[in-house]
């Protein structure tokens, strides 16, 4: 019998450049608003890197040379961080990534491997979440806003998270994808699943995929 050759593990890139976002689409704001629905059933088909890049840009993408973004932020302090739990994206290894809006790229945030099931378990065992090819986690570093607004940051930051979630929902509708806001989860378990650094808190989970049926 021929000796088995060991194959070295393929290294997962620490930084992944993303395609440039499209700034003109075929769906109007009004059509996206009308089409938006909360969906909890996803097909097995994955997403493309182009689709993923568009979703991340919608959440926090830079839209101006001065650094302004797709969603408003009190004092332009931008306390939100967008994490991607990738499971089924063409040309992207499964793993947990942080979105860098300034460079329009992904940074590996945790060791490679599919963590969708762990995140679904952290979301009070809502196992359907793990069926989505990607899951976005909106987290926040409250201290960025508190440096200027003090205790008022406790109000401003969740407002910004709502803006980001709606921007994603409308982009999802325009791409004929599906998502839903998930707010029921154990904070500490989500932090472990996504490897959030000290000082960041999870606010929302957004599973995204292709709907089983599109109306």
Note the pLDDT tens digit of each residue in 90-138. Answer: 999 999 999 999 999 999 998 779 999 999 999 999 999 999 999 999 9
- pLDDT of res. 215: 52
Quick one: which H or E segment has residue 141? none
Which domains are delineated in the chain?
Answer: 28-138+150-209 (3.40.109.10)
- Between CA 152 and CA 68 the distance in angstroms is 21
Map tokens 């830079």 to a residue: 62
The H-or-E segment that residue 75 falls in is none
What was the pLDDT predicted at 10? 54
pLDDT of 111: 73
Residue corresponding to tokens 């182009």: 50
Q: What is the pLDDT of residue 4?
A: 39
Start-end of H helices in the chain = 29-35, 49-60, 116-122, 142-149, 153-174, 187-194
Strand (E) or helix (H) holding 73: none
H or E stretch at 128? none
- What global pTM score does this model have? 0.93
Q: Which candidate, 117, 22, 15, places its Cα nearest to that of 63?
A: 22
CA-CA distance, 118 to 163, in Å (whole number)?
26
Whole-number percent of the chain with pLDDT over 90 = 91
pLDDT of residue 213: 73
Q: What is the pLDDT of residues 58-91, one digit of tens each?
A: 999 999 999 999 999 999 999 999 999 999 999 9
Which percentage of the chain shows pLDDT scores above 70?
93
With b for 16 or more beta-carbon neighbours within 10 A and e for fewer, the 121-154 pattern comes to bbbeebeebbbbbbbbbbbbbbebbbeebeeebe
Instruction: Please indicate whether residue 134 or residue 214 has the higher confidence score (pLDDT).
Output: 134
């Amino acid at each position: 019998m021929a000796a088995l050759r060991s194959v070295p593990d393929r290294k997962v890139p620490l930084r992944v450049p993303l395609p440039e976002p499209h700034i003109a689409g075929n769906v109007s704001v009004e059509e996206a608003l009308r089409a938006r629905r909360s969906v909890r059933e996803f097909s097995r088909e994955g997403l493309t890197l182009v689709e993923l890049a568009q979703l991340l840009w919608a959440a926090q993408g830079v839209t101006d040379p001065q650094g302004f973004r797709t969603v408003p932020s009190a004092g332009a302090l931008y306390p939100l961080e967008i994490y991607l739990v990738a499971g089924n994206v063409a040309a992207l290894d499964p793993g947990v990534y942080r979105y860098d809006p300034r460079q329009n790229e992904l940074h590996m945030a945790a060791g490679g491997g599919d963590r969708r099931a762990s995140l679904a378990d952290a979301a009070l065992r809502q196992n359907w979440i793990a069926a989505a090819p990607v899951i976005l986690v909106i987290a926040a570093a409250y201290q960025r806003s508190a440096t200027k607004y003090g205790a008022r940051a406790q109000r401003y930051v969740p407002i910004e998270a709502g803006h980001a979630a709606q921007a994603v929902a409308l982009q999802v509708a325009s791409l004929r994808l599906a998502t839903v806001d998930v707010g029921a989860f154990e904070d500490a378990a989500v932090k472990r699943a996504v490897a959030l650094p000290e000082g960041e808190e999870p606010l929302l989970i957004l599973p995204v995929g292709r709907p089983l049926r599109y109306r």
